């Protein structure tokens, strides 16, 4: 693209040395790119306004992103603006490009602020870039008037000032309160190298729960075996094929194999369940749902 010839370290210097376009020349270049896809015109147009992109990128240095990365994102926004610019609308290219450059930089900053996604809606984006500024102004005005503002009232005032829901302010306040930390970082020198990940609660089953679950499973299995032993061979076959297979068979398929009607197989199944229920009721009520 048009910026391929720029190296990161010389980009700012070259941008400052680029020509300043008057309105007529700018319009000619815009038409040449839109109508004839003239890449030389595009290169000249973008090069002339790289100083604008760099100037806007510098305003976002306080968010901790490397300046070279901010300039690259600003360049992408500038190229998108050049590609979508319509010279027939009667506005200067710089006026149109400002929105695209700013949007590209803001998206980059929000993507890289935290491993957890900071926000995606327009209200969350507005909060991310304006919340601290608005809060600082409110605090200055409160201090000047001697007013004491608690945290809840501060959130409400920010919500009204920025024009976003209160819950978005509460969410963004938490996300902006600190940066990401590695779970492998040590808690303190006194803990002899203990990492934060060691303090997390284990979500897996505890040993006692595992033992109890294994015991209950064995008990239920024994109860079922006892109940099945109360059936004759045909009833046991029907129950096994209908309830104990991973892919249960239909009444019709069993009827075809046993030489019985589908209704007769259903009757035998119901009778078998009745026999098993009587055996199981002597042990526990926990497995009654098995026959529901």
Closest CA to 70 of 113, 16, 126: 113
According to CATH, the topology of domain 8-113 is: 1.20.120
Output the pLDDT for position 100.
94
As given in the structure block, the two tokens for residue 210 are 């595992």
d(CA 135, CA 143) in angstroms, rounded, equals 12
CB 47 within 8 A of CB 79: no
Residues 6+ apart with CB under 8 A from 70: 57, 58, 60, 61, 105, 108, 109
d(CA 200, CA 115) in angstroms, rounded, equals 19
Handedness of CA 121, 123, 129, 131 (dihedral sign): negative
| SS3 state at 134 | helix
Residue ranges covered by each domain of the chain: 8-113, 122-176, 208-291
Output the pLDDT for position 86.
93
Closest CA to 224 of 245, 244, 254, 251: 244
pLDDT digits (tens, 9 = 90+) for 137-191: 888 888 888 888 888 888 888 888 888 888 887 777 766 665 545 545 565 655 5
> Which residues make beta-bridge pairs with 195?
186
pLDDT digits (tens, 9 = 90+) for 52-62: 999 999 888 87
Output the pLDDT for position 153.
86
Output the pLDDT for position 33.
93
Distance of CA 239 to the CA centre of its chain: 47
d(CA 140, CA 26) in angstroms, rounded, equals 44
Percent of the chain topping pLDDT 90: 28
Output the pLDDT for position 164.
82
Residues of the chain with pLDDT under 50: 1-7, 115-116, 118, 180, 183, 287-288
Task: Concatenate the DSSP letters of all residues of 26-83 into one string.
Answer: HHHHHHHHHHH--HHHHHHHHHHTHHHHHHHHHTTGGGT--HHHHHHHHHHHHHHHHH
Output the pLDDT for position 184.
56
Output the pLDDT for position 1.
42
CATH code, 208-291: 1.10.10.10
């Amino acid at each position: 693209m048009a910026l391929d010839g720029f190296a990161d370290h010389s980009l700012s210097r070259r941008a400052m040395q680029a020509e300043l376009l008057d309105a007529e020349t700018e319009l000619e270049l815009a038409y040449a790119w839109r109508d004839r896809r003239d890449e030389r015109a595009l290169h000249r147009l973008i090069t002339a306004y790289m100083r604008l992109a760099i100037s806007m990128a510098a305003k976002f240095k306080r968010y901790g992103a490397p300046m070279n990365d901010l300039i690259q994102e600003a360049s992408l926004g500038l190229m998108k603006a050049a590609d979508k610019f319509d010279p027939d609308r009667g506005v200067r290219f710089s006026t149109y490009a400002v929105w695209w450059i700013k949007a590209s930089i803001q998206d980059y900053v929000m993507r890289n602020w935290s491993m957890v996604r900071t926000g995606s809606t327009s209200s969350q984006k507005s909060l991310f870039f304006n919340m601290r500024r608005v809060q600082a102004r409110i605090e200055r005005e409160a201090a000047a008037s001697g007013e004491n503002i608690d945290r809840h009232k501060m959130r409400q005032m920010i919500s009204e000032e920025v024009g976003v829901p209160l819950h978005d302010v509460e969410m963004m306040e938490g996300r902006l309160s600190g940066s990401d930390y590695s779970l492998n970082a040590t808690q303190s020198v006194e803990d002899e190298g203990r990492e934060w990940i060691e303090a997390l609660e284990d979500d897996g089953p505890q040993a006692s729960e595992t033992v109890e679950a294994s015991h209950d499973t064995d008990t239920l299995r024994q109860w079922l075996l006892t109940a099945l032993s109360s059936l004759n061979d045909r009833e046991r076959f029907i129950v096994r094929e209908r309830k104990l297979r991973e892919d249960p068979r239909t009444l019709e398929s069993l009827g075809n194999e046993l030489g019985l009607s589908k209704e007769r197989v259903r009757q035998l199944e119901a009778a078998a369940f009745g026999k098993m229920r009587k055996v199981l009721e002597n042990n526990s009520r926990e497995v009654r749902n098995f026959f529901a």
